[in-house]
């Protein structure tokens, strides 16, 4: 294989030096192929006679790269090549009769590669995962369950010497059923070797089964009436959107409205209009709100709606892809990656809850689906609607500066009232000789009243586990994981300390491992602790916990929500997971137990995230005719974010926060690139960081970009890897920024002992 020779100037890779004596291959047909490899270039192959009729730009092909056969996408065809005759290989197979990736998406993936520092092939892989990675499609998935006669005895046997097998078997025994193998391994941060060992011992059963029809695919149209009249605010918003659709030009809108203000109804109407014009639509929602109910709303209005989400099998994705490509389905609802749906004549893209961090992909290419949505709409002359009750400050600022048009829905439709807010100062709740209790007197009183009236409550906690910190009075240290620089959390049910960074477990030490002083103190609380205290204090309460320990499968999540909806649960305790979700008319009390923890995170978005979480959880209460009450328990009641959140005053918060961001040089005043260097050898990580820093300085001499670091990252050790970071701070439109990104990416592609990750517009600096 040979590096492609580029015709267009590009930020990709460095130019290839011509070999000393070149005998260019004779005229013929040559394909440039983008492969899913972290090398920022494409590769040229000879197209054999038998494929010449059918091959096209956008077709998938199989090629040999080294000794391995890989699937890639043809991104250019040329009759000539400068590549030397002897170095060319021929394409092995042409996999599509018609090009699978059309020009629009090819261009968009190229943009993604440049903006988010990946190779073109990696960006293509993000939109066609399975099809690009393999030649054949499998309709089967691996599922795993505990064998029938396995139990405590086997667990005990594993506990001492085989902690990984123990963790897996324990989890499977808890699940009482099967789970997709890759899901449980990912959850527990395990390779598949413990699973295979357990299988050999006959303790777990791994089977290949036909991929189940997903719950969402069978989602029925749910009875959502089409209101006869829109409210005046809805009317005004829809009018603006329809006007833009009529013009057939790109327009971006920020639709600001609290939960229940009728945003979804506006989306639905706007899509109706687009469809009537013969156009198509994409609706992006956070993965977790992609419930059968949401999907049902769209199905009841538009008949056939394609659903795209991360749990689909590769084969299901490909089938859906082809149907969209052929125009058989015109509306797509999905999580992040649905922004790449191959629809033609795109009319409108909705990004609901646009502020959600989950729209940012955590692995390469680290794209932000909202920003990709805006770019795709710009290229397709479509209308983009960003909807939220608490817009991201990026979007808020874009609206203020005229890049987006703001539309507001300031009131709840259908008469729902706003809940009353109560901020409780937990410093005043301490009992003599003890720390603050879990529940304030006010919250206890409200809970009793709520349950007595046959209504429901939601308690929100930031962390999972029983107690997040085990602290030594002697050396004032917390117990940390050996592999990660993170405090370990005590999980009472399994009576162990768990690291939330790497999932490793260990026994609770009797004395401080550092200073050997006995008497470690437990500090703080997590969701498991709240659940247990509720059960102990009020045994008659029906309590259910929702966090990633109890909700390992999507079915568990849906089952818990529907039990809650049927009134079989009095109090739902949970983490982030419960902040979003369905409309529960009988929820009248929301307890927000420790917003302080998220406020104090060392991240410039800490206040924004806390405000959003409070607004979102608060939005769960009093959605129907019953009035809701929100209790915020804090030891910093005067914190401006909490005060504004308690007032529900997003605008004031946004102004306050923007002033801070501009003063400190954080987005949206600037754009950031975070370069994370990780490796087992700290010296080498440091030296690599210094080398990259030098390269960047040289590349950016003439720009106004600022470099911070290399310095130790906030999580300095994770899974036995030392972490350093460099942060590039750039004015928003600085032409030097793409240059910095390309420099870092090319540098990253050449490292092998230090992993260099380039995150453009990072959502978190932790
Ligand atoms: P949001 O998306 O902002 O949370 P929805 O569009 O889901 O709000 O509307 C909230 C509730 O109000 C829904 O039950 C919806 O059916 C209802 N609704 C929306 N618009 C109207 C309207 N114009 N007249 C009556 N009910 C409406
Ligand atoms: Zn760890």
Phi, psi of 261 (to 5 degrees): -85, -5
Residue 436 sits in the same domain as residue 551: yes
Check if 736 has its Cβ closer than 6 Å to any atom of ligand 1.
no
Q: Ligand 1 pocket check: which of 225, 236, 413, 616 to mutate, most ligand atoms within 8 Å of Cβ?
A: 413
pLDDT band at 10 (very low <50, low <70, confident <90, very high): very low
Residue 97 burial by CB count (10 A; 0-12/13-18/19+): exposed, middle or buried? exposed
Q: What is the C-alpha to C-alpha distance for residues 52 and 559, in angstroms, rounded to an integer?
A: 53
Say whether 760 sits in a helix, a strand or coil: strand
Res 696: pLDDT: 93
The verdict on residue 217 lying in a domain is: no
Q: What is the C-alpha to C-alpha distance for residues 271 and 279, in angstroms, rounded to an integer?
A: 9
The larger pLDDT score, comparing residue 464 to residue 267, is at 267
> What residues contact 660, with CB distance under 8 A and at least 6 apart?
607, 666
Report the nearest-CA residue for atom 20 of ligand 1.
262
Query: What is the crossing angle of helices 163-175 and 193-200, to 10°?
Result: 80
- How big is the chain by its Cα radius of gyration, in Å? 27
Q: Which structure tokens are listed for 64?
A: 């040999």
Ligand nearest to the CA of 298: 1
Q: What is the CATH number of the domain that holds 99?
A: 3.40.1440.60
Report the nearest-CA residue for atom 23 of ligand 1.
230
Residue 711 sits in the same domain as residue 679: yes
Please say if the pLDDT value at position 58 is more than 70: yes
What residues does the ion ligand 2 have nearby, CB within 5 Å? 481, 483-484, 499, 501-502
Residue 563 sits in the same domain as residue 620: yes
The larger pLDDT score, comparing residue 473 to residue 181, is at 181
Please say if the pLDDT value at position 211 is more than 70: no
Say whether 300 sits in a helix, a strand or coil: helix
Q: Compute the distance from residue 261 Cα to the ligand 1 centre, in Å.
A: 6
Residue 433 sits in the same domain as residue 405: no
The verdict on residue 68 lying in a domain is: yes
Q: What is the C-alpha to C-alpha distance for residues 162 and 435, in angstroms, rounded to an integer?
A: 38
Ligand nearest to the CA of 720: 2
Give percent of the chain with pLDDT exceeding 90. Answer: 50
Q: What is the CATH number of the domain that holds 619?
A: 3.40.50.300
Residue 247 burial by CB count (10 A; 0-12/13-18/19+): exposed, middle or buried? exposed
Residue finishing a domain among 635, 661, 687: 661
Q: Compute the distance from residue 593 Cα to the ligand 1 centre, in Å.
A: 29
The larger pLDDT score, comparing residue 602 to residue 35, is at 35
Residue 108 burial by CB count (10 A; 0-12/13-18/19+): exposed, middle or buried? buried
Q: What is the CATH number of the domain that holds 683?
A: 3.30.70.600
Q: What is the C-alpha to C-alpha distance for residues 678 and 686, in angstroms, rounded to an integer?
A: 9
Task: Specify the range with the lowest mean pLDDT, choosing from 218-222, 519-523, 594-598.
Answer: 218-222
Residue 456 sits in the same domain as residue 474: no
Q: What is the C-alpha to C-alpha distance for residues 491 and 462, in angstroms, rounded to an integer?
A: 15
The verdict on residue 733 lying in a domain is: yes
Kindly report whether the global pTM for this prediction surpasses the value 0.75: yes
Expressed as residue numbers, the domain containing 712 is 671-760
Cβ contact 429:440 at 8 Å: yes
What domain count does the chain have?
A: 6
The verdict on residue 43 lying in a domain is: yes
Check if 202 has its Cβ closer than 6 Å to any atom of ligand 1.
no
Cβ contact 63:75 at 8 Å: no
Check if 257 has its Cβ closer than 6 Å to any atom of ligand 1.
yes
Q: What is the C-alpha to C-alpha distance for residues 252 and 371, in angstroms, rounded to an integer?
A: 11
Residue finishing a domain among 129, 150, 184: 129
Residue 256 sits in the same domain as residue 347: yes
Q: Are strands 68-78 and 60-65 parallel, antiparallel or unpaired?
A: antiparallel
pLDDT, tens digit (0-9, with 9 covering 90-100), for 60-116? 999 998 888 889 999 999 998 887 777 789 999 998 888 889 999 999 999 999 999
Q: Rounded to the nearest 5 degrees, what angle is found at the Cα of 454, between the Cα atoms of 448 and 459?
A: 55
Cβ contact 459:543 at 8 Å: no
Ligand nearest to the CA of 715: 2
Please say if the pLDDT value at position 28 is more than 80: yes
Residue 248 sits in the same domain as residue 267: yes
Res 12: pLDDT: 42
Check if 388 has its Cβ closer than 6 Å to any atom of ligand 1.
no
Check if 387 has its Cβ closer than 6 Å to any atom of ligand 1.
no
Q: What is the DSSP letter of 84?
A: B
Q: Ligand 1 pocket check: which of 234, 238, 264 to mutate, most ligand atoms within 8 Å of Cβ?
A: 264
Cβ contact 252:341 at 8 Å: no
Say whether 510 sits in a helix, a strand or coil: coil
- Rounded mean pLDDT, 689-693: 96
Strand segments, DSSP code E, in 137-284 are 140-146, 179-180, 204-210, 251-257, 280-284
Q: Ligand 1 pocket check: which of 257, 261, 262 to mutate, most ligand atoms within 8 Å of Cβ?
A: 262
Cβ contact 423:634 at 8 Å: yes
Residue 682 sits in the same domain as residue 697: yes
Instruction: Please choose, from the candidates 438, 460, 458, the residue with its C-alpha nearest in 3D space to the C-alpha of residue 575.
Output: 460
Check if 252 has its Cβ closer than 6 Å to any atom of ligand 1.
no
Residue 355 sits in the same domain as residue 249: yes
Check if 261 has its Cβ closer than 6 Å to any atom of ligand 1.
yes
Report the nearest-CA residue for atom 18 of ligand 1.
262
Check if 347 has its Cβ closer than 6 Å to any atom of ligand 1.
no
Check if 616 has its Cβ closer than 6 Å to any atom of ligand 1.
no
Check if 269 has its Cβ closer than 6 Å to any atom of ligand 1.
no
Count of C-beta atoms within a 10 Å radius of residue 566: 8
Cβ contact 269:228 at 8 Å: no
The verdict on residue 247 lying in a domain is: yes
Cβ contact 47:28 at 8 Å: yes
Q: What is the C-alpha to C-alpha distance for residues 239 and 245, in angstroms, rounded to an integer?
A: 10
Cβ contact 725:715 at 8 Å: no
Residue finishing a domain among 85, 107, 129: 129
Q: Compute the distance from residue 370 Cα to the ligand 1 centre, in Å.
A: 24
Res 622: pLDDT: 63
Residue 431 sits in the same domain as residue 575: yes
Q: Closest ligand 1 atom to the C-alpha of 619?
A: 4
Q: Compute the distance from residue 706 Cα to the ligand 1 centre, in Å.
A: 46
Ligand nearest to the CA of 189: 2
Count of C-beta atoms within a 10 Å radius of residue 232: 9
Q: What is the CATH number of the domain that holds 160?
A: 1.10.10
The verdict on residue 593 lying in a domain is: yes
Report the nearest-CA residue for atom 15 of ligand 1.
262
Report the nearest-CA residue for atom 11 of ligand 1.
260
Q: Which structure tokens are listed for 487?
A: 């405090």
Q: Compute the distance from residue 25 Cα to the ligand 1 centre, in Å.
A: 64
Residue 562 sits in the same domain as residue 711: no
> What residues contact 671, with CB distance under 8 A and at least 6 apart?
729, 730, 731, 732, 734, 737, 760, 761
Check if 294 has its Cβ closer than 6 Å to any atom of ligand 1.
no
The verdict on residue 35 lying in a domain is: yes
- Rounded mean pLDDT, 163-186: 87
Check if 414 has its Cβ closer than 6 Å to any atom of ligand 1.
yes
Cβ contact 465:696 at 8 Å: no
Count of C-beta atoms within a 10 Å radius of residue 488: 25
Ligand nearest to the CA of 616: 1
pLDDT, tens digit (0-9, with 9 covering 90-100), for 526-572? 888 899 999 999 999 999 998 888 877 777 887 888 888 889 999 99
Check if 234 has its Cβ closer than 6 Å to any atom of ligand 1.
yes
Res 13: pLDDT: 40
Q: Are strands 251-257 and 405-409 parallel, antiparallel or unpaired?
A: parallel
- Rounded mean pLDDT, 456-473: 83
The verdict on residue 227 lying in a domain is: no
Q: What is the C-alpha to C-alpha distance for residues 346 and 377, in angstroms, rounded to an integer?
A: 8
Q: What is the C-alpha to C-alpha distance for residues 614 and 460, in angstroms, rounded to an integer?
A: 9
Q: What is the DSSP letter of 151?
A: -
Residue 675 sits in the same domain as residue 750: yes
């Amino acid at each position: 294989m040979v590096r492609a020779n580029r015709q267009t100037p590009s930020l990709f890779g460095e130019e290839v030096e011509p070999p000393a004596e070149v005998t260019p291959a004779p005229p013929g047909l040559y394909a440039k192929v983008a492969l899913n490899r972290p090398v920022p270039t494409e590769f040229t192959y000879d197209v054999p006679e038998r494929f010449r009729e059918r091959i096209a730009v956008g077709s998938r092909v199989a090629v040999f790269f080294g000794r391995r056969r890989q699937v890639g996408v043809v991104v250019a065809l040329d009759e000539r090549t400068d590549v030397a005759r002897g170095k060319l290989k021929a394409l092995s197979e042409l996999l599509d009769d018609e090009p699978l990736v059309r020009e629009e998406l090819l261009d968009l993936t190229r943009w993604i590669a440049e903006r988010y520092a990946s190779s073109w092939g990696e960006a293509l892989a993000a939109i066609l995962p399975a099809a690009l990675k393999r030649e054949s499609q499998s309709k089967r998935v691996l599922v795993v369950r505990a064998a029938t006669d396995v139990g405590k005895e086997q667990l005990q046997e594993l506990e001492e010497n085989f902690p990984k097998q123990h963790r897996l078997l324990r989890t499977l025994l808890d699940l009482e059923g099967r789970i997709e193998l890759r899901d449980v391994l990912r959850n527990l941060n395990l390779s598949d070797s413990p699973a295979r060992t357990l299988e050999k011992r006959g303790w777990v059963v791994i089977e290949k089964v036909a991929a189940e029809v997903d719950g969402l695919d069978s989602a029925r149209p749910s009875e959502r009436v089409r209101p006869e009249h829109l409210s005046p605010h809805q009317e005004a918003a829809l009018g603006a959107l329809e006007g833009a659709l009529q013009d057939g030009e790109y327009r971006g809108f920020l639709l600001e409205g609290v939960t229940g203000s009728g945003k979804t109804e506006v989306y639905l109407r706007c899509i109706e209009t687009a469809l009537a014009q013969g156009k198509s639509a994409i609706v992006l929602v956070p993965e977790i709100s992609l419930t059968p109910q949401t999907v049902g709303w769209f199905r009841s209005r538009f008949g056939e709606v394609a659903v795209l989400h991360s749990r689909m099998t590769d084969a299901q994705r490909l089938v859906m892809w082809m149907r969209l490509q052929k125009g058989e389905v015109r509306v797509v609802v999905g999580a992040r990656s649905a922004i790449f749906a191959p629809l033609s004549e795109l009319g409108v893209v909705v990004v609901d809850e646009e502020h959600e961090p989950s729209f940012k992909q955590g692995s390469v290419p680290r794209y932000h689906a909202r920003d990709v949505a805006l770019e795709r709409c710009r290229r397709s002359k479509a209308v983009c609607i960003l909807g939220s009750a608490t817009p991201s400050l990026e979007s808020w600022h874009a609206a203020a500066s005229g890049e987006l048009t703001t539309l507001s829905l300031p009131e709840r439709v259908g008469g729902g009232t706003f809940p009353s807010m109560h901020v409780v100062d937990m410093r005043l709740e301490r009992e003599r000789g003890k720390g603050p209790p879990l529940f304030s007197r006010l919250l206890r009183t409200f809970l009793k009243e709520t349950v007595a009236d046959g209504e429901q409550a939601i308690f929100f906690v930031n962390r999972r586990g029983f107690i997040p910190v085990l602290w030594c009075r002697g050396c004032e240290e917390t117990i940390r994981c050996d592999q990660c620089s993170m405090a370990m959390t005590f999980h009472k049910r399994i009576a162990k300390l768990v690291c939330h960074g790497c999932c490793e477990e260990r026994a609770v030490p009797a004395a401080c491992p550092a200073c050997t002083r006995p008497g470690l103190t437990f500090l703080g609380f997590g969701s498991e602790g709240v659940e247990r205290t509720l059960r102990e204090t009020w045994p008659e309460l029906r309590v259910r916990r929702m966090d990633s320990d109890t909700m390992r499968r999507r079915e568990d999540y849906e089952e818990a929500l529907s039990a809650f909806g049927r009134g079989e649960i009095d109090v739902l305790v949970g983490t982030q997971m419960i902040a979003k979700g369905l409309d529960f008319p009988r929820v009248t009390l929301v307890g927000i137990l420790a917003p302080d923890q998220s406020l104090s995170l060392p991240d410039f978005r800490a206040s924004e995230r806390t405000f959003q979480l409070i607004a979102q959880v608060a939005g769960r209460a009093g959605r129907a005719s019953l009035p809701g009450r929100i209790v915020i328990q804090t030891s910093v009641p005067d914190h401006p974010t909490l005060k504004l959140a308690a007032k529900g005053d997003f605008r004031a918060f946004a102004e306050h926060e923007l002033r801070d961001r501009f003063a400190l040089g954080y987005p949206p005043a600037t754009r950031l690139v975070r370069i994370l260097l990780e490796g087992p050898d700290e010296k080498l990580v440091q030296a690599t960081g210094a080398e990259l820093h030098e390269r960047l300085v040289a590349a950016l001499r003439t720009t106004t970009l600022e470099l911070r670091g290399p310095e130790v990252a906030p999580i300095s050790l994770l899974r036995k890897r030392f972490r350093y970071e460099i942060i590039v701070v750039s004015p928003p439109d600085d032409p030097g920024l793409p240059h910095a990104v390309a420099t870092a990416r090319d540098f990253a592609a050449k490292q092998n002992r230090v992993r260099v990750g380039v995150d453009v517009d990072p959502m978190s600096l932790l």
